[in-house]
Structure 1
Amino acid sequence: MMNNATVATVLVLLYAGLGFATNQRKRAKLPRVGRAGPFGYAWTVLRSVLDSDGLVEEGWAKYGGKPFVLPSMSGEWIVLGPDDIEQLRRSDDTVFNAPERAKALFLPNTMFGNHLTDHPYHLETIIRSDLTKSLHSLVPEMHEEAQLAIPDHIPIISGQTSATIPLFSTMVHLIARVSNRAMIGAPGCRDEKFLQYQVSVAEEVIPMSQILNWFPAALRPVVWKLFCVTLGAKDRAVKLIGPYVKARIDYAQQDNPSTIVDLLLRYAPEEEIKNLPMLAARVVHLNMAATHTSGIFTTHALFELARLPPEQVEMVRTEIAAAIASEGGVLNKTAVGKFYLLDSLLKEIGRFHSLFAVGSSRVTLKEAVISDGTVLPPGSVVALAPKPMHNNPKTYSDPETFDPFRFTKLRTGAGTAADIQQSFTTLSNDYIVFGIGKHGCPGRFFAALKIKVVLAELLLNYDFSFPEGASHAPKPFSFNIFTVPNPTAKLVFTKRQRF
């Protein structure tokens, strides 16, 4: 009698075999990465769950950076090469559509409700425009919260000078608290029960969206509901954030906003104002986006700082201290704008530590032709591959080496357009961490400021090192197309004496 693992394997093989047969009929005439034949297709699909990165690198090397097909449990991705980036960047969504692909990939309608995508003002208006204009007032608030939160998250026992902590989970929780100082304000940002569930949402929703894509569309709401009832944190987070959102509604300070929720209330339709769970779900969704990726960057940054020679870490500290001193001792947006070394470190992390195997994906709404003349049928999913693109020696010298000051070295110091091009948040066809074109990540400016505020406070107050005997290059964890830092790796924080 077959055990559960055998049954699961057979079902996956049947699923993949069906995908192989179906996709042979409608796929563009492009080579496919992985083993040949139906069973090879099934094996490649299975491998993609935990090694999409490896498959993408294999396909890139085999086909010389030309388009190829990447099979996965949620369907086929057409991985495009450098010759196709400009076409995607210029896309106006009539052929290569980003919003529809995002809905299909992350399933916000299933997980949070149709109102998020029917009227996406929290992304299209708030994050792209109003929030960016309000960042100057939010930086001091986030800095104050970082100063209060960091000792809570790095508890050093009396009589000792250091603490060893699991880095990734700690940074995600710390980022969640600092983010929520901007999102809902104090004291809500210090509600540990809410923060716990909000972090769980960030940890659950992205992998669950990938798993849900393994199921037929009709079953996804049922599977998601069962997950929420048994393990899910989304409904609990929505319930717990509700009173804080209601407090912002009662405060009604849209004309002089002090939180991101105040900005939301400028545009929230009356039905959402009256239906608190709908508005709260939107805030939880926005919170999720503001937490997870920022936690990943912060974690990688601290690992890299722990690996750097002390004199290089001191260079970063000195620049941070000088920038703050130039603003009268206040860590504000202008001061953060002078953290050039830290900015370069973060951009190099984005280049070197890929967050996903494929990204900037689009779905073709009608027949499309790519650079090599291949005709893509409607419904084709196309994407770019950050890791091999960011390791291109034609673009980056010595790309296999992590150089924290790579982009600082390219600055002239004159504040020219060439200098701006080296910034962490600047979009380009050679640096696609935040996407390309008009669909570049709208929250990247907020995320960058928040990460820099937290890292600056940590750098000025702690030294970083690896526990004795621990790996200095902890292996990250990959699932489907996404990669996160090693969840078990620890770092030692030693309190510095500041004079």
Structure 2
Amino acid sequence: MLSEVIARVELLIVVIAHFVLTRFTVHSRFWNSQAWTGVREEWFPKMRAKVRTIGNIRQMLSDGYEGNKAFALPVIAEKPWLVLPHSCIPELLAKSDSEIDMKIIHEEQLMHEYTTGSLGRHVVDVPIQYDILLRQVNRKLPLLISAFNEELDKSFCHYWGTDTSYSEVNLSETCEKIVTQALNRIFAGKEICRDEGFLEHSRLYSEGVGRNAIMLDVLQWIIEESFARNDPKELDPRMITQRLLALNFVAIDTTHMSMAHTILDLYRSPNSDDFLVGLREECERVLQANGGQWTKSGLDDLVCVDSTIRESMRYSDLGYISLTRMVVDPKGTQFNANGTNSSSPLSVPPGIRICVPAHAIHRDAALYPSPYEFQAFRFSKAREKYRGTQTELSEPKVSIVTTTDKFLPFGHGRHACPGRFFAAQQMKLMLAYLVQNYDVEKLSTKIQNKIMVGTTKPDASLKIKVKRRKVNTMSAASKLSLITKLHRAHTAPLPILGRPVTQKRDCKPSLSSVNTRRKCRQLLAS
């Protein structure tokens, strides 16, 4: 009898504690004062709204967006988000990292302590791999074109075949493998990027490191940066390979899904035939103007290719929310987010997660005419109209890498994705290669993406029919590869990392650098 009384008292205490915590804490009072999207008058309304975000998050964001003020977004298995209106983006970007922080949000989502261990924790705290993206990769983009295009040719031929009659391939799977192989030609080198075991078992991570004839790979730059810091911890091969894995993680998944979306959007569009005529004409014209080789200036002239990818990133956005931050200032922060009819600011306490509704912004008819229609040349029409005129020179160019308050796949402001220039170059090369060398059977307009809680992905089981085009006996990439080999046979290698390199290779990598590469290769191979 006594034990039953004690049990009931304990239960009563728990119920009272829950009531107090949900009614009187700072966070609870804040959330109770907000408008919630997707919450209906029913039993357990917020809990059921969280479940609905699994497949209905886009509609919930659109419904909340129409109010033009901040609203709460319930998310299953997570804390809610405070979603700010489009008008608050300048305010959000103007706030310092000591007031609202982006890094802490990424750490919460990836949980580095559990997914990558102590080494991964250091890679996040001292992210020199992203410094390399800014200082090395972005500056040397023209030098990467030849190697990447050569790998595209090999990977497309391998995974999509060279048969001139239609055959079925899995869209998502083959895109992932092609992107993994081509990107790791830059990240790890020629040997490992073609290793079948590596591609099969670890598409999102580099399983090894290989030597390129001219050391033109990101791994070498990571090693040299580690030596330059003269920190024993940075010279650990495990630390170096962890940094390479981090680059693979952020680059491959988003790039392959963006390309799969682009292919899907392009070939299921009712206007796909017209789009393909324009894309192929542009590729042939630009390639001819550049002597049959892809160059940096030539890629910049692919305005229709660029527009097609950018439009797909708007139309089939990978993430439904963007500019994610957490309020970290102990005093909280404020936003003018209470609607146009209110002059009082919204006070947000510390610990609240904030974002903007990227999907709803990308589908706003006031920002994009016919927002629910895929218009491949939406962003290239103006540039094509004034091509070669003085107006073209005075108009600001809008490309994949251009971030604005209405185009948010790469974020916006000072924390915009530093790797977007590298990713854009690779995606343009990939789409140009595809439309020049392959036909894809037109897809049904009824094909839909798979909607997850915070993202959208192509159906993993979707198969498409492809065939090699009978346009050229030798692809442009193969011609470029041959020209490059002939050029290297008669001239000295290009200088890398600012060091003159002769045919005798007087400036060889140091013995310690070579040993470090060998240890990294052995570590990942095991």
When normalised by structure 2's length, the TM-score is 0.76
Q: How does 1:5-404 map to 2 (within 5 A)?
A: 23-27=27-31, 29-36=33-40, 39-61=44-66, 64-72=67-75, 73-112=77-116, 113-123=120-130, 125-156=131-162, 161-199=165-203, 202=204, 240-241=207-208, 244=209, 258-268=216-226, 269=229, 270-272=231-233, 274-306=235-267, 307=269, 308-366=271-329, 367-372=332-337, 373-404=345-376
Deviations 1:241-289 (A, max 9, x none): 2xx16x58xx9xxxx8511112222322543554222221221121121
The 3 A distance-change label for structure 1 pair 108 and 335 is farther
Deviations 1:54-112 (A, max 9, x none): 32123223xx2311001112111111111110012223212121122222222234322
- Checking the alignment, whether the CA contact within 8 Å between 2:68 and 2:86 is kept in structure 1 is yes
1:465 to 438, 441, 445: 441
Whole-Å Cα distance in 1 between the matches of residues 411 and 454 of structure 2?
A: 15
Deviates more, 1:140-149 or 1:311-320: 311-320
Whole-Å Cα distance in 1 between the matches of residues 61 and 431 of structure 2?
A: 32
Please tell me the residue identity of whatever aligns with 1:418: E
The 3 A distance-change label for structure 1 pair 491 and 417 is farther
Could you tell me which runs of 5 or more consecutive residues in structure 1 were left unpaired when the two chains were aligned: 1-13, 203-236
Please tell me the residue identity of whatever aligns with 2:449: P
Secondary structure in 1 aligned to 2:258?
Answer: helix
- Checking the alignment, whether the CA contact within 8 Å between 1:28 and 1:376 is kept in structure 2 is no
After TM superposition, give the deviation of residue 198 of structure 1 in Å.
2.9
1:478 to 422, 443, 451: 451
Counterpart in the other structure of 1:493: 466
Is 2:380 the partner of 1:408? yes
Could you tell me which runs of 5 or more consecutive residues in structure 2 were left unpaired when the two chains were aligned: 1-14, 338-344, 473-526
The 3 A distance-change label for structure 1 pair 149 and 399 is same
When normalised by structure 1's length, the TM-score is 0.80
Counterpart in the other structure of 2:488: none
Whole-Å Cα distance in 2 between the matches of residues 417 and 387 of structure 1?
A: 31
Whole-Å Cα distance in 1 between the matches of residues 321 and 88 of structure 2?
A: 14
Please tell me the residue identity of whatever aligns with 2:219: V
After TM superposition, give the deviation of residue 50 of structure 1 in Å.
3.6
Whole-Å Cα distance in 2 between the matches of residues 187 and 473 of structure 1?
A: 41
2:395 to 412, 418, 437: 418
Deviations 1:290-317 (A, max 9, x none): 1111111211221233233424312111
Secondary structure in 1 aligned to 2:301?
Answer: coil
Whole-Å Cα distance in 2 between the matches of residues 455 and 99 of structure 1?
A: 32
The 3 A distance-change label for structure 1 pair 311 and 479 is closer
Whole-Å Cα distance in 2 between the matches of residues 82 and 496 of structure 1?
A: 45
Whole-Å Cα distance in 2 between the matches of residues 281 and 417 of structure 1?
A: 45
Secondary structure in 1 aligned to 2:74?
Answer: strand
What is the aligned length? 429
Deviates more, 1:272-281 or 1:73-82: 272-281
Whole-Å Cα distance in 1 between the matches of residues 70 and 146 of structure 2?
A: 46
CA RMSD of aligned residues (A): 2.4
- Checking the alignment, whether the CA contact within 8 Å between 1:109 and 1:116 is kept in structure 2 is no
Whole-Å Cα distance in 2 between the matches of residues 89 and 332 of structure 1?
A: 35
Please tell me the residue identity of whatever aligns with 2:91: Q
The 3 A distance-change label for structure 1 pair 309 and 359 is closer
Counterpart in the other structure of 1:8: none
- Checking the alignment, whether the CA contact within 8 Å between 2:222 and 2:240 is kept in structure 1 is no
After TM superposition, give the deviation of residue 483 of structure 1 in Å.
1.4
1:439 to 411, 415, 424: 415
Counterpart in the other structure of 1:211: none
Whole-Å Cα distance in 2 between the matches of residues 302 and 290 of structure 1?
A: 18
Please tell me the residue identity of whatever aligns with 1:258: L
Please tell me the residue identity of whatever aligns with 1:349: S
- Checking the alignment, whether the CA contact within 8 Å between 2:151 and 2:182 is kept in structure 1 is yes
